[in-house]
Structure 1
Amino acid sequence: MAESPPRTSHERNPSRNLHRAAWLLAVFTFPLIFLGGLVTTKQAGMAVPDWPNSFGYNMITFPPSQWIGGIFYEHVHRLLGTLVGVLAIVLLVHALIVERRAWVKWLSGAFLIAVSVQGVLGGLRVIWVHLDLAIVHGCLGQAVFCLIALIATVTSRRWIEPPAAPSSAAGAPAGRVVRLAAIAVALIYAQLIVGAVMRHYRAGLAIPDFPLSYGRLLPPTNAAELA
């Protein structure tokens, strides 16, 4: 019996192009987080007072001649967010066509939903002028990036065709490592939330000294002690 021809890399990993698309999305999503932080730094969150339009213009046709001051940061942030949303749709469609693993398809769908929710939150923050929405918007942005990074990871060749583990690692406590990693992620994200609240409420210099707090290990908790 004749041997079957060797499979091509694409046949071994049908997610190859999906992996590339996910990486492309990650490349665009990361600067979106940076731009969001820049909008907060420049206090430009309300520089464009309407949404989804921009000063009455369709967001895409808003004249570049009017991209001045804080408007530039906010409008570019919106445009890049829109691009990420369009690419998220492309990613999901591609995943539905070529991806064999149902859970990866669900991840792609979850990413599109997360990006959409993120965009709506940003818009509602402008319409409702609600600072707490800005905090949620900022925190969710990090999770959105982590989600697309996860998709890029699980569609990679190294994930689908992992190298053989050395015999010495056969009894490694994988479950313990996973639990510790999950705890680490939770703690880091909690720290991120605290940082976002502090940043949006401009409390970064509320305690003027370091490493002590007003000369103490624990800061004072009432107005009389602060006087």
Structure 2
Amino acid sequence: MNDPRPSPWLHRYVVLTAWATYGLICLGGVVTSKGVGMAVPDWPSTYGQNMFFYPISGWVGGVFDEHTHRLWASTVGLMVLILALWLHGSKSLPLLRWGGGVLLLLGLLTAATVPHRMQDAIFLFSVGAVSVATGFCWPGSESAIPRLRR
């Protein structure tokens, strides 16, 4: 982890993740420009079925665009999670990292069990994501002022 040489595979994966995110933004533009953003009214399911196993025969009209966008977003989310784990720093604060993980889990549980409280789930998930992100980045950086360094 302390090797000063950059990993070519990490660089390739970061570029792949960036392009996948760009593709997601483009798909979001298609969904928005066609006005089919709510073609599938429920989330995380698709018309009451598991989003990942929804039959292709049901992807008709705006559902095709919206559902493709959802699946692509899930893929990008998984790629970002893998990237975060790959970049996991050994200097990050364990309490910050684990606390953020707990908040992420609470957000997911709230979204799965109480769909009408989605604002709470989004808030918990967002706070957890910020906590986890700062746990990876912030503690590993050093201050420019020598007396403030650890």
Same fold by TM-score greater than 0.5:
yes
| Structure 2 equivalent of residue 25 of structure 1 | 17
The alignment status of 1:88 with 2:41, answered yes or no, reads no
Sequence identity, in percent?
42
Name 2:62's counterpart in structure 1.
70
Structure 2: any 5+ residue segments left out of the alignment? 117-150
Within the alignment, does 1:47 sit opposite 2:39 as a pair?
yes
Over the residues paired in the alignment, what is the CA RMSD in angstroms? 3.1
CA distance, structure 1, for counterparts of residue 28 and residue 4 of structure 2: 39
Report the TM-score, using the length of structure 1 for normalisation: 0.38
Q: Distance in 1 between matches of 2:80 and 2:7?
A: 16
Q: How far apart in 2 are the matches of 1:75 and 1:13?
A: 41
Sort the Cα spacing of 1:33 and 1:100 in 2 relative to 1 into closer, same or farther, 3 A: same
TM-score by length of 2: 0.56
Aligned equivalents of 2:91, 2:74: Cα separation in 1:
28
Whole-Å separation in 1 of the counterparts to 2:20 and 2:14: 10
Aligned letter for 2:73? G
Which stretches in structure 1 are left out of the alignment for 5+ residues? 1-10, 103-108, 129-227
Quote the Cα distance in structure 2 between the aligned partners of 1:88 and 1:100.
19
- C-alpha spacing 1:27/1:57, structure 2 compared with 1 (3 Å): same
Q: Does 1:61 align with 2:46?
A: no
Change (3 A) 1:31 1:101: farther
- Cα distance per residue 1:123-169 (max 9 Å; x no partner): 9xxx88xxxxxxxxxxxxxxxxxxxxxxxxxxxxxxxxxxxxxxxxx
TM-superposed CA distance for 1:21, in Å, is 1.5
Q: Across the two proteins, how many residue pairs are aligned to each other?
A: 99
Separation in 2 of the partners of 1:87 and 1:13? 23
SS of the aligned residue for 2:23 comes to helix
Q: Give, as a single letter, the amino acid of the residue that structure 1 aligns with 2:53.
A: T
Structure-1 separation of matches of 2:15 and 2:23? 13
Q: In 2 relative to 1, CA 38–57 (structure 1 residues): closer, same or farther, beyond 3 Å? A: same
Relative contact order (alpha carbons < 8 A, sep ≥ 6): 1 or 2 greater?
1
Q: Which residue of 1 aligns with 2:5?
A: 13
